């Protein structure tokens, strides 16, 4: 029987296993999937956005914003980059500190599995967990391949986001079984949808993208990245980011021309190209169909537009307020917000305060990163820390 049983062969689980194996612990990792690390495999368009060099505590959401500080400082992006470099994996920085494999996400998976082999870790897939019980020696776990006893049990099963990959609420159910408090989970980093009335109004925008827009939530959180209009609502990096801060019933504000003062710019255009229609002036900086939508009702050349009209148009362009009706939910969410209350865990080891020998790491914990490699870094950091203790 292993010293350490880890349920979940994803980023956090494999990292924890490697570190425990280095310490001479016998480690078994089990997972229900056919292959390990399937979320790594599909991440970053198949190239795995494996970390972000701008990682800092303020890039994470949690009921306790201080909880993540210890783990992130003890195992940093530079530490993971060093591991990647040791395995000869080529990588590049894309934008905003996001690091991707040059070749394939499979390089990261193969690296983790090689590290597991080197340190005696056994990774066993196609193994479903039926029941977990506390035993005299630690934990007894009934699975589709038999009963395993271990003194230490690590739950690294993630949240229910992307159910097509086989994700579930297993980790939450285990926490509740042992009496741990939960922060209500919900979909994060997810496209937002419109109700039929708004959707009918914006249907002609479907498929359009704006390369740089500034999106702001009602609580004042702002992201400046691309926005994409869909047949269901709105998406793109800026929207995925703001979705983690958006609450049902709230508006979001979109600035389609971040940076310059739109009113001043429109007045300049009135002087520079007076015989150009308002719509075509706006089409100089935005996709044509979006320009038509924004300039709807403003006929004639821009020379004929009064300051009042231009100010109204500037308001549309820089403070376009939309009220989403909801999100696309776990089906397309990249992560799950909420999870196991961090007050239940040690921030240094991730061990349960109530149940000695029981650990929770990665996405299952109430720590959720921004888009762009932060959630992988949380997996590496939390897994590494637990691996020093299990």
Rounded Cα–Cα distance for residues 193 and 255 (Å) = 19
Residues 210-226 have a mean pLDDT of: 97
Which of these, 185, 183, 250, lies nearest to 221 by C-alpha position? Answer: 250
Q: What distance lies between CA 176 and its chain's CA centroid?
A: 24
Q: Could you tell me the pLDDT band of residue 168, with boundaries at 50, 70 and 90?
A: confident
**Tens digit of each residue's pLDDT (9 = 90 or more) over 11-41:** 999 999 999 999 999 999 999 999 999 999 9
List of domains in the chain: 4-187+334-387 (3.50.50.60), 192-327 (2.40.30.10)
Rounded Cα–Cα distance for residues 14 and 119 (Å) = 12
Instruction: Determine how many CB atoms are found less than 10 A away from the CB of residue 58.
Output: 10
pLDDT exceeds 90 at position 162: no
Alpha helix ranges (H) inside the chain: 11-22, 38-42, 68-74, 77-86, 106-118, 170-177, 196-202, 237-243, 262-272, 278-283, 288-294, 307-318, 374-387
- Could you identify the residue written with the tokens 């993971």? 80
pLDDT exceeds 80 at position 164: no
**pTM listed for this prediction:** 0.96
The backbone torsions φ and ψ at residue 186, rounded to the nearest 5 degrees and listed phi first, read -155, 165
Question: By three-state DSSP, how is residue 247 classified?
Answer: coil
Distances in Å between the Cα of 29 and the Cα atoms of 11, 43, 148, 309, 353 are: 12, 21, 11, 64, 23
Mean pLDDT score of the chain: 97
**Tens digit of each residue's pLDDT (9 = 90 or more) over 266-282:** 999 999 999 999 999 99
Q: Could you tell me the pLDDT band of residue 297, with boundaries at 50, 70 and 90?
A: very high
Residues 87-111 have a mean pLDDT of: 97
């Amino acid at each position: 029987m292993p010293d350490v049983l880890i349920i979940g062969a994803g980023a956090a689980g494999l990292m924890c296993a490697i570190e425990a194996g280095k310490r001479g612990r016998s480690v078994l990792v089990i997972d229900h999937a056919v292959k390990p690390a399937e979320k790594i495999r599909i991440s970053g368009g198949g190239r795995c956005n494996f970390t972000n060099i701008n990682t800092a505590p303020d890039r994470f959401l949690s009921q306790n914003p201080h909880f993540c500080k210890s783990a992130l400082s003890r195992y940093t992006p530079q530490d993971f980059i060093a591991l990647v470099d040791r395995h000869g994996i080529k990588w590049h920085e894309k934008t905003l500190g996001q690091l991707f494999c040059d070749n394939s996400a499979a390089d990261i998976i193969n690296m983790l599995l090689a590290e597991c082999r080197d340190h005696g870790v056994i990774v066993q897939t196609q193994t479903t967990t039926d029941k977990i019980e506390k035993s005299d020696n630690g934990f007894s776990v009934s699975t589709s391949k038999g009963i395993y006893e271990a003194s230490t049990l690590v739950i690294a099963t993630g949240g229910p986001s992307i159910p097509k990959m086989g994700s579930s609420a297993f980790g939450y159910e285990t926490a509740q079984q042992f009496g741990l408090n939960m922060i209500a989970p919900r979909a994060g980093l997810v496209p937002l949808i419109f109700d039929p009335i708004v959707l009918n109004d914006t249907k002609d925008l479907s498929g359009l993208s704006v390369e740089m827009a500034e999106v702001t939530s009602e609580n004042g959180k702002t992201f400046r990245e691309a926005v994409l209009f869909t047949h269901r609502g709105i998406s793109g990096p800026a929207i995925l980011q703001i979705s983690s801060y958006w609450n049902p019933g709230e508006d979001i504000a979109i600035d389609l021309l971040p940076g310059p003062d739109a009113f001043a710019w429109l007045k300049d255009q009135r002087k520079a190209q007076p015989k150009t229609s308002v719509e075509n002036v706006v089409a100089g900086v935005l996709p044509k169909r979006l320009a038509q939508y924004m300039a709807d009702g403003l006929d004639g050349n821009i020379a004929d537009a009064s300051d009042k009209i231009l100010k109204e148009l500037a308001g549309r362009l820089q403070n376009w307020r939309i009220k989403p009706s909801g999100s696309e939910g776990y089906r397309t969410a990249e992560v799950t917000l909420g999870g196991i209350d961090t007050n239940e865990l040690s921030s240094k080891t991730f061990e349960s305060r109530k149940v000695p020998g029981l650990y929770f790491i990665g996405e299952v914990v109430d720590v959720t990163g921004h888009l762009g490699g932060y959630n992988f870094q949380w997996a590496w950091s939390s897994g590494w820390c637990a691996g020093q203790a299990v």
